[in-house]
Chains A and B, each alone.
Chain A
């Protein structure tokens, strides 16, 4: 019985591994542009967090304005590079 079970397991493994895949899934390499899109999302999320914390009364007006302009500059830089890459 042990040998039969072992044979079944081996056969099942080989069949599954080498059974032709109809559409072997492939993927294009991630580009700098993909990466910048992710960074843009992250900066936008940081901005949303900052706005929410400001509304919650966690930061005074002056600090909020400074923080927001820093994040907006970062977003602008990322979007600038994205535009350049998309044009190229």
Chain B
């Protein structure tokens, strides 16, 4: 047999499809039997068990297919068209591995593999609630069947290259040859695919009219982990854009960036509003539609990234798989709508909104604002496509449109982040407001006044106004978070006699969800502060010869030399720039311009000196053909590092929120135990 690995890969995908179809069909049949009480020749529990096991083996089969593709990449098997088009012999092994998701077929295989992996874990943990998990497992199988159908019939990753096989591959897109690209797409996909799990549980719970909110409890960790993956994926993408695309920014409202932002917005809304359902049995229909929408937006995101429907620097594929996705989206919507209409009486709310000034209303406003943001982004993303369909010409929606809407929305969300936790459930009286809002309000006003003394002029420039509001509200929110921690820690300190630090740690352990959430909010504020620094960006562009200088914001860049080099993968031109600040030598920067011979494409490698205060970001733009001298563009971007620090804080906060809480009684017994040990050891 001439192509053993591709054959094995193709067969594994076909087997996975058969297994997923079996899991869907038998899972569905057994659930129907259980619901109607009609037993077939085989007991429904037994049938359901075989469906579960088929789902588990789907994971094994898709894993074999993914392994076969990676194997083909590492063995330079250019008989596989996908490997020929996305790798070459001299490609670094890490990028050969990342070839798995560098093209359309591979990334769909990654989608399918991650879905199978999530399904594998879910099916192994089925005893948490057998019937509900059986429903979710069947729904996951349905989604799996769609992606496997795509892989088998529309975008097969193991297609054999016709004719003579070239000795070397065409190489990987240079933009993807960057370390973050090895982890950014899997992170993003873990986020996209992960939302299928809460979606499946929500739909399953609705189909079986599951009494109570336990499905939310079961999926809480799934949703948070998924949300974290999506958050990290989005910011890794932003960091990649900042480091590789070389335009000085990290977010350009590109359609593919937007595609990842939309499910994040609805997913964030869902994470907040399910708390109302858990606590007060409210907003059941709303929550169900939030998670339905989030799932559909992840599918839309995959469609936008992989179909070539929109033009984007992040979209690395052009194809005709769009029709499959349209069909799937319509099918998912119809199924969701049908189930909702049929079972809507099951979603009756147990409590009504009692006051506009309450924790519930702050969640509601938070949700509305996030949905307005999502709709704005969706409209801006799809408007060019719609305008081309209706008018025949593609309209462009640029950053100014998004910024006009997103900035006020972001500020209002920041305001709610601070206000929400200070309000009481049901209704908040003026007495409570006075008690909780004094300190944050003082911090907000004092920061605003301080910044105006520091020469921020909000009345002269709108971007400075927004920055001032972001910094001031950020200070208010941080004060609110700190006061929440301090108040709680003081109670624990009184109860246990511990010092403030130990009491704070115990406070977090007692209610990891709440205090982890506050840490996440703190991370969000830090990110917003980093973004707000953008109002004070500076840039300059200049042609430099030996010894020439560029001045920007107190820095002086002196051109030490410029030269060129080459290796097996690419040729490079670069400049060596000595950096001085207020006359003192700081560092040397070497911005590059690369030419990749295998793919015949260019790439920019940014040189960046990042500090907590600002980034000195330098690009080699090419040589002036007349003078032969390099053209250098330099940016001074304030506070950018805080964006990445904020993401790290969010990761920390989410981990805290994911950790199981210690019940107060248990915590108290631990304290007593510790004291007993201390006393014992003292003897």
**A residues near B, CB below 8 A?**
1-3, 5-6, 9-10, 12-13, 16-18, 21, 24-27, 29-32, 34-35, 38-39, 42, 46, 48, 50, 52-53, 55-60, 62-63, 67, 70
Contacts and interface: CB of A to CB of B under 8 A. Distances in A.
B424 A63 contact: yes
Interface string B165-201: 0000000000000000000000000000000000000
A58 B126 contact: no
A18 B57 CA distance: 12
B373 interface: no
Counting from the closest, the 4 A-B pairs by CB-CB distance are A2-B4, A56-B487, A35-B211, A2-B7
A12 B57 CA distance: 9
Interface in B599-652: none
A27 B279 contact: no
A13 B425 contact: no
A53 B432 CA distance: 12
B144 interface: no
Given A46-B425, A52-B488, A26 B212 contact: no
A69 to B, nearest CB: 11
Interface stretch (B46-54, B237-245, B261-269): B46-54
B3 interface: yes
Give the interface residue-count category, chain B.
35 or more
A70 B426 contact: yes
Contact of A58 (B4, B12, B213, B487): B487
Nearest to A14: B57
B540 interface: no
The winner among A34, A35, A53 for most chain B CB atoms within 10 A is A53
B53 A30 contact: no
B129 A27 contact: yes
A34 B4 contact: no
A26 B211 CA distance: 18
Nearest to B52: A17
B427 to A, nearest CB: 9
A9 B61 contact: yes
Contacts of B214: 30, 38
A43 B61 CA distance: 46
Given A2-B11, A17-B53, A56-B487, A63 B212 contact: no
B488 A9 contact: no
Contact of B435 (A13, A55, A57): A57
B45 interface: yes
B454 interface: no
A15 to B, nearest CB: 10
Contact of B211 (A6, A34, A50): A34
B211 A32 contact: yes
23 contacts: A2-B1, A2-B3, A2-B4, A3-B7, A5-B4, A6-B12, A9-B15, A9-B64, A13-B19, A13-B54, A13-B60, A17-B50, A26-B45, A27-B130, A30-B212, A38-B212, A46-B279, A48-B664, A56-B490, A58-B424, A59-B432, A60-B429, A63-B424
Counting chain B CB atoms within 10 Å of each CB, the highest count among A21, A27, A32 belongs to: A27
Given A9-B60, A67-B424, 7 more contacts: A1-B8, A9-B61, A9-B64, A39-B212, A58-B435, A58-B487, A63-B432
Interface in B1-24: 1, 3-8, 11-12, 15, 19, 22
Interface centre among A5, A18, A32 (most CB of B within 10 A): A5
A25 B4 contact: no
A42 B491 contact: no
Contacts of A62: 429, 431
B15 A30 contact: no
B672 to A, nearest CB: 20
Contact of A60 (B43, B127, B130, B435): B435
Nearest to B127: A25
B56 interface: yes
A78 B1 CA distance: 69
B126 A63 contact: no
Contacts of A50: 425
B56 A16 contact: yes
Contacts of B280: 46
Interface string B278-309: 11110000000000000000000000000000
A17 to B, nearest CB: 5
B461 to A, nearest CB: 39
Contacts of A56: 487-488, 490-491
Contacts of B569: none
A25 B126 contact: yes
Among B4, B5, B48: residue with most chain A CB under 10 A: B4
A16 B124 CA distance: 14
Interface in B193-238: 210-214
Given A25-B127, A63-B432, A2 B5 contact: yes
Contacts of B53: 16-17
A16 B57 contact: yes
B278 A24 contact: no
Contact of B424 (A2, A9, A59): A59
A38 B280 CA distance: 12
